[in-house]
Amino acid sequence: MSFPWMAQRVDRLFVHCRELVTLTEGPTTGARRGASMGALGVILDGAIAVHQGRIVAVGTTDAIARDYTAKEELDLSGYVVMPGFVDCHTHPVFAATREDEFHQRCQGADYMAIAKAGGGILSSVRAVRAMPLEKLTELTIDRLWGFLANGTTSVECKTGYGLSLADEEKSLRALTAAAQAVPLTMVRTFLGAHEFPTEYRADREAYVRLLCDEMIPKLKGLAEACDVFAEPGVFDREQSLRILSSARAEGLRLRLHADELSPMGGAELAVLLRADSADHLGKISDAGIQALAGSDTVGVLLPGTSFFLGKEIYAPARRMIEAGCVIAIATDFNPGSCFTQSMTLIQTLACVKLKLSPAEAIIASTINPAFSLQLDSEVGTLHPGKRADFVALDLPSWRGVGYAFGGNPVAITVKNGVPMVANINERDPDLFAGT
């Protein structure tokens, strides 16, 4: 027999989830590899008890209602609920979109040819340099709300469109201010090594010295990580090693754009440096796969970029999973090569183009990217004690992940136990008011 007055008092109850995908069949922290990427821990008619922004318990609605009571209760009947998405590769600090380049590509122009003609990253650099901090911050805030509207509750945000000390600092300050204005968990990544700016293209060594000797030491307090675009024609292996070694010496964590268009040994370099991630990997070598498989460096796969650029260069995800690599997926949201914030669309592309199962796509967009950002003790699963970050999807079942595409199935995004976005258009931390 149970007695209502003996039930534990919590802040909120979220009840009657059609399916509650907890990911609690696996460990609380750490990455999921191989067969463990299929363990979802699904509870029918599930419920979540939340107190002070943390998960207290998950279970069936009957069990949670018996053991917990709360003044505020939200009925999630009809929704599939799972951990909030963790987008571990984005570029949201930019001043202008680049749809003209998209039009050119639709007419057959190549991305690299557009870049050589003055478009691409350097186009975004010119726009960021011309924009004041206040306006850049305003735009960044709006984009962070866009992530929440698409079910993302934790996000890695790169700079890389400033490429000077002053403008990279401006970009990092815009991120810092935006993070304080929007209820997202953010990791800031310094990407001054995104491209060589126009004024240093004839003296690339001088720009590498600027990055190592001035930019990284002066900006390290505004970022948690450092990234490099390691690719032939951009930063070669030796330059990438120097930049990332300088960042490590200054206390920054490491990430790496690697083996996207050419096999340059970027994955192996990431493992050598014990980087948190090696990203893209469309041209990863067999040696690179084996290196990742023997490490905790996460292979972050970005199928949206290949899709948007019209290139059939996709990372060999199945081979990587079978080898034992930790993999994650991310949007690569940016103004040029992947203008989407939709993790559900990326899940579809991961299933269709990378041949992930829907269960693997869920793991690759929650706990594994959280692990790559060293946030897995806080987010990525619905274990008690973690942040109450989750998303309610208007899907008939978790099996609809990947299958349903072209719209936004996110009904409600909950951050720290509070609904922040409902029905895509509402941005209201007081959704319970008046109930």
- Identity at 194, one-letter amino acid code: H
Q: What pLDDT is attached to residue 230? A: 97
Provide, for the chain, the percentages of residues in helix, strand and coil under a 3-state DSSP scheme, each rounded to the nearest 5. Answer: 40, 25, 35
**Neighbouring residues of 348: CB distance < 8 A, sequence distance ≥ 6:** 402, 403, 404, 405
Per-residue model confidence as pLDDT tens digits over 92-138: 999 999 999 999 999 988 877 777 777 889 999 999 999 999 999 99
Q: Which residues, 6+ apart, have CB-to-CB distance to 66 below 8 Å?
A: 2, 7
Task: Say yes or no to pLDDT of 363 above 70.
Answer: yes
Q: What CATH class has 86-372?
A: alpha beta
CATH of the structural domain 4-83+380-427, one choice from 2.30.40.10, 2.40.370.10, 3.90.245.10, 2.30.30.140: 2.30.40.10
The first and second tokens of residue 411, run together, are: 């009904």
Say if CB 176 and CB 422 are below 8 A apart: no
Q: What is the pLDDT of residue 412?
A: 97
Q: What is the pLDDT of residue 222?
A: 98
| Domain boundaries along the sequence of the chain | 4-83+380-427, 86-372
pLDDT for position 135:
98
Residue with tokens 């946030």: 375
- 253-266 residue pLDDT tens: 999 999 999 999 99
CA–CA dist 288, 96 (Å, integer): 36
Chain mean pLDDT for the chain: 95
CA atoms within 13 A on the CB side of 297: 30
Q: Band the pLDDT of 2: cuts 50, 70, 90.
A: very low
**pLDDT bracket for residue 430 (50, 70, 90):** low
pLDDT above 50 (res 292):
yes
Q: What is the mean pLDDT of residues 377-389?
A: 98
What would the pLDDT profile of 61-70 be if each residue is shown by its tens digit?
999 999 999 9
Residues 6+ apart with CB under 8 A from 104: 114, 119
Given a contact cutoff of 8 angstroms between Cβ atoms, the answer to whether 97 and 339 are in contact is yes
Q: Look at residues 110, 72, 108 and name the one whose alpha carbon lies nearest to residue 434.
A: 72
Mean pLDDT value across residues 362-374: 98
pLDDT tier at 424 (50, 70, 90 boundaries)? very low
Provide the pLDDT confidence category of residue 431 given band limits of 50, 70 and 90: low
Query: What percent of the chain is modeled with pLDDT above 90?
Result: 92
Distances (CA, A) of 154 to 83, 186, 409: 10, 6, 18
Which residues lie below 8 Å from residue 397, measured CB to CB, with a gap of 6+?
Answer: 18, 19, 80
DSSP string, 151-172: TEEEEEEE--S--SHHHHHHHH
Adjacent-strand bridge partners of 74:
14
Output the pLDDT for position 168: 98
Check if 4-83+380-427 and 86-372 are the same fold. no
Average pLDDT over every residue of 287-311: 97
Q: What mean pLDDT is predicted for residues 7-23? A: 97
Q: Which amino acid is at 385?
A: G
Label residue 166 by pLDDT band (50, 70, 90): very high
Q: Does residue 427 register a pLDDT over 60?
A: no
* Residues with Cβ within 8 Å of residue 125, at least 6 apart in sequence: 161, 162, 163, 167, 195, 197, 198
pLDDT value at 4 more than 60: no
Predicted structure pTM score: 0.95
The CA distances from residue 56 to 12, 221, 409, in Å, are 10, 34, 26
Q: What does the alpha-carbon distance between residue 278 and residue 372 come to, in Å, rounded to a whole number?
A: 10
Least confident of 61-70, 116-125, 280-289, 404-413: 116-125
pLDDT band with cut points at 50, 70 and 90 for residue 3:
low
Which position has the higher pLDDT, 108 or 151?
Answer: 151
Residues 178-204 have a mean pLDDT of 98
Beta strands in 211-358 (DSSP E): 225-230, 253-258, 277-280, 298-301, 327-329
Are 401 and 395 contacting, i.e. CB atoms less than 8 angstroms apart?
Answer: yes
Tell me, what's the pLDDT at 46?
98
Torsion angle of the four alpha carbons 200, 201, 203, 208, in this order, in degrees rounded to the nearest 10: 70
Q: Give the number of other CB atoms < 10 A from CB of residue 29.
A: 17
- pLDDT band for position 429 (cuts 50, 70, 90): low
Stretch 314-343: mean pLDDT, rounded? 98
Give dist(CA 417, CA 53) in Å, integer: 5
pLDDT at 117: 73
Q: Does the pLDDT of residue 414 top 50, yes or no?
A: yes
